[in-house]
Amino acid sequence: MINRLVIIGVGLIGSSLALSLKQKKYVKTVIGCGRSEDNLKKGIELGVLDDYELSISKAIKGADVVVVAVPLGAMDSVFKQMYSALDQATIITDVGSAKATVLRDAQNSLGEHFKQFVPGHPIAGSENSGVEAGFSSLYQDRKVILTPVKDTNNEAVSIIENMWKETGALVELMSVEHHDKVLAATSHLPHMLAFSLVSHLSKMSDQDEIFNYAAGGFRDFTRIASSDPVMWRDICMANGDALLELISGFKNELDQIANAIKEQNPQALFELFRDSKHTRDQLRDL
């Protein structure tokens, strides 16, 4: 059981973690920390938090586990503010969607406490944000990837692994490099496609009519374009190399479709669509 859990950045991910652990009676006290006092007060009203602090150094005093759930661009600043208040018993983890930059920031700013840091990423979420968006079942049967390195304390890894398992999550270990490559393909690129489609259509002269007739396919494909723009800006900057490679490959796929249409080649279109349908049909659990 975790006696004192501190969540820095209480949005969908952090609030869902708190609600799940509270429901399982796996945590005694949850302290929230963030820049918006209104959001933190709302967390107490909703039963997500037991208390809150605006100061990171005050919040983490005596903490068993600290979960850093801020945009990637804010990680280094948070780690720096944590450093002077950390003790050897506190375990730190994060929920960032790209791990290489988080690892670098932790190495630079946590000093001798770096061994207590367990990089992590829950593969769960929605386009909604803020403490109100949290719900206790978010992680049930969802994957959580931990990316410890050779310097990471093994006991700290076990504690974070057990914490996530209590939420119903399926925990896997992966290298930092492999994580960032896989997530660029399965999460980061799809978000770029959704953002770019909405942006492109919004600039058309008849956009009102286009959006007025948008149906389920448009809704399903573009839902994630409602995601937090700050978070996704930071993800692009953090995992740019892997993402650029994928964007280039996707452009080639679109060119194949465009060429098949231009050349009036129905067989090429059929084969591409057929193969894609077959692949997607094998993924019905998604």
Q: For residue 135, give the CATH number of its domain.
A: 3.40.50.720
Q: Is the pTM of this model over 0.85?
A: yes
- pLDDT confidence of residue 213: 79
Residue 92 sits in the same domain as residue 18: yes
Q: Would the pLDDT of 284 be above 80?
A: no
In the chain, the number of structural domains is 2
pLDDT grade for 206, boundaries at 50, 70 and 90:
confident
- pLDDT confidence of residue 113: 96
- Is residue 197 within 8 A of residue 166, CB to CB? The reply is no
Q: Would the pLDDT of 45 be above 90?
A: yes
Q: Work out whether the CA dihedral 162, 228, 7, 176 comes out positive or negative.
A: positive
Distances (CA, A) of 190 to 13, 58, 222, 257, 273: 20, 39, 9, 18, 18
- pLDDT confidence of residue 286: 64
Residue 12 sits in the same domain as residue 135: yes
| pLDDT, mean of residues 237-245 | 95
Question: What does the angle CA 11 – CA 103 – CA 17 come to, to the nearest 5 degrees?
Answer: 25
The answer to whether residue 146 is domain-embedded is yes
Residue ranges making up the domain that contains 243: 178-281
Q: What b/e readout covers 45-69, taking b as 16+ CB neighbours within 10 angstroms?
A: eeebbbebbeebeebbeebbbbbbb
- pLDDT confidence of residue 39: 94
- pLDDT confidence of residue 105: 97
pLDDT in tens, 87-101: 999 999 999 999 999
Name the domain boundary from 174, 196, 231. 174
- The amino acid at 48: V
For residues 110 and 227, the model is more confident at: 110
Phi then psi dihedrals of residue 256, to 5 deg: -60, -45
Q: Would the pLDDT of 8 be above 90?
A: yes
pLDDT in tens, 59-79: 999 999 999 999 999 999 999
| pLDDT, mean of residues 275-284 | 90
The answer to whether residue 286 is domain-embedded is no
Name the domain boundary from 174, 191, 221. 174
Q: In terms of Cα–Cα distance, which of 24, 3, 36 is closest to 131?
A: 36
**H or E stretch including 31?**
strand 27-33
Tokens standing for residue 104:
């670098």
Residue 187 sits in the same domain as residue 154: no
Q: What 3-state class would DSSP assign to 205?
A: coil
Q: What is the mean pLDDT of the chain?
A: 94
Q: Locate tokens 């995992």: which residue?
A: 239
The Cα–Cα gap between 186 and 196 comes to 16
